[in-house]
């Protein structure tokens, strides 16, 4: 009997529904005030917006109050995240810290660091990036070779990280660094997580422009960068144990199936209330996929809420979700009613903007945060094949 993945239906409790309406009202006001555009792909970094979200109590929602958190449930946090994403709110300055860096610090960081850093994440004041990939270590995360060498009162870091999103805007990075060689028994041994201040002396950040023309990626050079002992996160050499739980949070969230949603919204707008049978069919198919993915994603949130670690289920959601959202822009393009010199101009701009944005970002969706190939390997292991 093979492993069977379970995605039991989850009912979001009443407090989630109230919260959803609060978030929608907030976002409607922000859109009306011109803070951001729900179709655009640009200008999504805004610390001012992050601080507004923090002031509402929507960052660090599940963390203890003593660290600036709000002790709310994973399901409540889930609702806030999906509403932000569905409306394309400018979340870039806080999303990584709220989703990944904060929880890692909370779980493995030293007390003094927790007290200093977490409240600033919860207020929206800090931006984080993730220092995982290196020139020779991409999908093979545990091949990282950027070194941290013990010195008086801390560590000296030398090497290079690459594809680091948002590093140029970030205050801190959580980096995976080599502190010992890997062992014969465990090729994942010898890596340690550190909190590194991005403005530290010895750090050089070089932009890498991506194919959309935007500066998101960076290459980061470390030249004898001093990191104090206080910034050690968790056990030396044992980061591989710490990284596993983190991924369940990263991999099943709404950001794994909502990245190109704006294209579908604008297709529906362009279709009007009485579309052709062909267009209705095309829209219906995509809506069914979307609705099912959301069910599964909420279900994983429910498992996290119940204290489980649904690593394989999360990989299933990310694999299905990213494949779907990647294929969506092309379907939207081919379903769209033909545009021509005689077609009305209204709505065309929004549609074009959404289609351009989603088409250009599509390739990265099955690469970032674990490639399709890595995910299928995880699922295959869950099936007992490896």
Partner 1 sequence: MTDSIIVDTATRIFADLCEPGTVNAAEEGQWPKALWDALEESGLTLTWVPDTLGGAGADIIDGFAVLRAAGRASAPVPLAETLLAGWLLTQAGLDAPAGPMTIAPVYEDGHIELANRSLRGRARHVPFARNAEHIVVLAYEAGTPSVALVPTSGLAISPGTSLAGEPRDTVTFDGATAVAVGPAPGLGTLGLVQLGAAARAQQMAGALEHILDQSVQWSLDRVQFGRPIAKFQAVQHSLAALAGEVAAAGAAADAAAEAIARYGIGGELVAAEVAIAKLRVGEAAGTGAAIAHQVHGAMGFTYEHSLHHATRRLWTWREEFGNETHWATQLGHMVAARGADALWPFITQGS
> What SS3 class is residue 340?
coil
Over the window 309 to 348, marking each residue x when it contacts partner 1 by CB under 8 A and - when it does not, the resulting string is ----x--x--xx----------------------------
* Range list of β-strands (E), the chain: 128-131, 147-151, 154-162, 172-178, 191-197, 203-209, 215-228, 232-233
> What SS3 class is residue 147?
strand
The whole-angstrom separation of Cα 10 and Cα 23 is 21
The closest alpha carbon to 194, from 228, 160, 244, belongs to 228
Over the window 84 to 103, marking each residue x when it contacts partner 1 by CB under 8 A and - when it does not, the resulting string is --xx----------------
The closest alpha carbon to 197, from 189, 205, 209, 186, belongs to 205
Residue 291 found at the interface with partner 1 (CB under 8 A): yes
Q: Which is nearer to partner 1, 229 or 348 (CB)?
A: 348
Among 181, 201, 273, 307, binds partner 1 (CB under 8 A): 273
Least distance in angstroms from the C-beta of 188 to partner 1: 20
Least distance in angstroms from the C-beta of 385 to partner 1: 4
Residue 32 found at the interface with partner 1 (CB under 8 A): no
Residue 272 found at the interface with partner 1 (CB under 8 A): yes
Among 48, 55, 209, 288, binds partner 1 (CB under 8 A): 288
The whole-angstrom separation of Cα 174 and Cα 176 is 7
7: left (phi over 0), alpha (psi -120 to 50) or beta: beta
Q: Which is nearer to partner 1, 106 or 365 (CB)?
A: 365
Residue 8 found at the interface with partner 1 (CB under 8 A): yes
**For 309, which DSSP code?**
-
Residue 248 found at the interface with partner 1 (CB under 8 A): no
Among 289, 331, 357, 364, binds partner 1 (CB under 8 A): 289
Least distance in angstroms from the C-beta of 366 to partner 1: 13
Number of shown-chain residues binding partner 1 (CB under 8 A): 61
Q: Which residue has the tokens 């946090």?
A: 77
Q: Give the Cβ contact number of residue 206 at 10 Å.
A: 13
Least distance in angstroms from the C-beta of 281 to partner 1: 4
Least distance in angstroms from the C-beta of 257 to partner 1: 11
Q: Give the Cβ contact number of residue 346 at 10 Å.
A: 9
Q: Which is nearer to partner 1, 134 or 266 (CB)?
A: 266
Q: Which stretch binds partner 1 (CB under 8 A): 81-89, 133-141, 152-160, 173-181?
A: 81-89
Least distance in angstroms from the C-beta of 298 to partner 1: 6
Least distance in angstroms from the C-beta of 78 to partner 1: 11
Residue 167 found at the interface with partner 1 (CB under 8 A): no
Measured CA to CA in angstroms, residue 285 lies from 27, 126, 205, 257 at distances of 28, 40, 44, 15
Q: Which residues pair with 193 in a beta bridge?
A: 176, 233
Q: Which is nearer to partner 1, 236 or 268 (CB)?
A: 268
The closest alpha carbon to 69, from 114, 16, 19, 118, belongs to 118
Q: Give the Cβ contact number of residue 219 at 10 Å.
A: 18
Where along the sequence are the contacts to partner 1 (CB under 8 A)? Answer: 1-2, 4-12, 20, 82, 86-87, 261, 264-266, 268-269, 271-275, 277, 279-285, 287-296, 298-299, 313, 316, 319-320, 373, 375-377, 379-380, 382-386
């Amino acid at each position: 009997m093979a492993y069977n993945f379970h995605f039991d239906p989850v009912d979001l409790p009443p407090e989630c529904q109230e919260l959803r309406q609060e978030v929608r009202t907030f976002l409607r006001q922000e859109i009306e005030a011109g803070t951001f555009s729900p179709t655009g792909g640009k200008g999504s970094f805004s610390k001012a917006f992050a601080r507004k979200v923090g002031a509402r109590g929507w960052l660090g929602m599940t963390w203890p109050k003593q660290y600036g958190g709000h002790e709310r449930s994973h399901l409540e946090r889930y609702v806030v995240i999906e509403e932000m994403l569905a409306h394309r709110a400018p979340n870039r300055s806080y999303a990584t810290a709220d989703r990944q860096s904060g929880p890692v610090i909370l779980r493995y960081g030293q007390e003094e660091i927790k007290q200093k850093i977490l409240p600033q994440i919860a207020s929206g004041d800090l931006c984080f990036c993730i220092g995982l990939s290196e020139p020779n270590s991409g999908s093979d995360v545990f091949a990282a070779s950027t070194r941290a060498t013990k010195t008086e009162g801390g560590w000296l870091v030398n090497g290079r990280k690459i594809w680091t999103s948002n590093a140029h805007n970030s205050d801190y990075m959580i980096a995976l660094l080599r502190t010992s060689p890997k062992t014969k028994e465990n090729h994942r041994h010898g890596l340690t997580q550190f909190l590194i201040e991005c403005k530290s002396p010895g750090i050089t950040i070089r932009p890498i422009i991506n194919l959309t023309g935007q500066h998101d990626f960076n290459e980061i050079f470390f030249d004898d960068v001093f990191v104090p002992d206080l910034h050690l996160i968790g056990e030396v050499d044992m980061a591989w144990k710490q990284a596993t739980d983190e991924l369940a949070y990263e991999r099943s969230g709404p950001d794994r199936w909502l990245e190109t949603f704006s294209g579908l919204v604008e297709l529906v707008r362009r279709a009007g209330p009485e579309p052709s049978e062909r267009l209705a069919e095309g829209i219906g198919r995509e809506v069914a996929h979307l609705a099912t993915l959301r069910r599964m994603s909420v279900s994983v949130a429910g498992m996290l809420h119940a204290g489980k670690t649904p690593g394989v289920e999360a990989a299933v959601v990310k694999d299905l979700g990213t494949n779907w959202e990647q294929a969506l822009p092309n379907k939207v393009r081919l379903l769209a009613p033909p545009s021509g010199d005689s077609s009305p101009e209204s709505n065309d701009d929004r549609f074009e903007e959404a289609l351009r944005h989603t088409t250009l970002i599509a390739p990265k969706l099955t690469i970032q945060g674990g490639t399709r190939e890595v995910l299928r390997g995880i699922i295959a292991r869950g099936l007992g094949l490896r």
